[in-house]
Amino acid sequence: MRHLFNEVSSECSKITTQRYSTSFSSAISLLNTDIQNAIYNIYGFVRFADEIVDTFHEHNKAQLLEEFQKDTYLAVERGISLNPILNSFQMVVNQYNIDHELIAAFFKSMEFDLTKQSYDEQGYKEYIYGSAEVVGLMCLYVFCSGDKELYLKLKPPAQSLGAAFQKINFLRDVKADSQKLERVYFPGIDFSHFTKEMKKNIEDDIQNDFNHALNGIAQLPSTSKFGVYVAYKYYLSLFNKIKKTSPSELLEKRIRINNLYKTFIIIRSRIANQLGVL
């Protein structure tokens, strides 16, 4: 009955993804069915770690994160865990031989969220690598399915895409991060004096990431290209909306893309895919 336990574990990660992110869950559903569960399993793991550092304020978050990290490595070593999220994650790590350094870098960034409230340039880059770029690289292991040459070729644009997503999240969530969690990720930015020039500099950096990422998306295997492209278009649409929002508005509300427009993005992306534009 081990297969049933593994199926239940993956279902838990899928439900976690669907409840926490409609955008990512809809993009994952557009991947080839053979790899959907693996990506759900990665996202479920990432989401639980994020939840520890961002939400459980009434508990000892450092202790919870430390225990979660130890349990993660134990699950990977043993090839099983009674925590369904960790069991589903270890399945992906062991099946696709995901580099354990990526897991270590991810946990390092999660630890930063427990102690650091602001970043210099080097710390900012290190945080983004561990919190976002490595997640994209874990997914890339799945997309490349053992093709190491393709993985190494697509690694830089995959990192750029993860970085773009994370920086947009920072802008989208700036109110909650700066006012509730008292975190400022962008180096040298004082959100009490957030100017158009500061915002433009951040946006230019994100645009560079997007430009670099798109070339990599076009070279992905057909099993993953369309789903990743839709996620790219989701975030690009959010980014364009953020660019039209004033600095003062960003500090007052969370920018979103409505579900109707997300559906429109999927339709347009499917047409582009069918026409061979990707």
- pLDDT score of 113: 92
- pLDDT score of 277: 59
| 275 confidence band (pLDDT: 50, 70, 90) | low
| Residue 228 pLDDT greater than 70, yes or no | yes
Which tokens hold the place of 147? 């093709």
CATH topology of domain 2-274: Farnesyl Diphosphate Synthase (1.10.600)
| Residue 261 pLDDT greater than 90, yes or no | no
| Residue 171 pLDDT greater than 80, yes or no | yes
d(CA 143, CA 190): 39
- pLDDT score of 173: 87
- pLDDT score of 273: 67
Nearest CA-CA partner of 42 in 170, 107, 139: 139
| 256 confidence band (pLDDT: 50, 70, 90) | confident
- What's phi and psi for 118, nearest 5 deg? -150, 165
pTM across the whole model: 0.93
Q: Mean pLDDT over all residues of the chain?
A: 92
Q: What is the DSSP string of the chain?
A: -HHHHHHHHHHHHHHHHHHH-HHHHHHHTTS-HHHHHHHHHHHHHHHHHHHHHHH-TTS-HHHHHHHHHHHHHHHHHHT--SSHHHHHHHHHHHHHT--HHHHHHHHHHHHHHHH-SB--HHHHHHHHIIIIIHHHHHHHHHHHTT-HHHHHHHHHHHHHHHHHHHHHHHHHTHHIIIIIS--B-STT--GGG--HHHHHHHHHHHHHHHHHHHHHHHTS-HHHHHHHHHHHHHHHHHHHHHHTS-HHHHTT------HHHHHHHHHHHHHHHHTT--
| Residue 74 pLDDT greater than 70, yes or no | yes
List pLDDT tens digits, range 107-146.
999 999 999 888 999 999 999 999 999 999 999 999 999 9
Query: Greater confidence, 266 or 55?
Result: 55
- pLDDT score of 41: 98
| Residue 276 pLDDT greater than 70, yes or no | no
Q: What is the mean pLDDT of residues 163-179?
A: 87
- pLDDT score of 229: 93
d(CA 52, CA 57): 8
List pLDDT tens digits, range 10-52.
999 999 999 998 888 989 999 999 999 999 999 999 999 999 9
Indicate the burial class of 55 (C-beta count within 10 angstroms; 0-12, 13-18, 19 or more): exposed
d(CA 142, CA 93): 9
| 56 confidence band (pLDDT: 50, 70, 90) | very high
Query: Greater confidence, 184 or 228?
Result: 228
Which tokens hold the place of 112? 């930063």
Contacts of 6 (CB under 8 A, 6+ apart): 87, 88, 91
- What's phi and psi for 199, nearest 5 deg? -65, -40
In this structure, of 171-175, 229-233, 262-266, the range with the lowest mean pLDDT score is 262-266
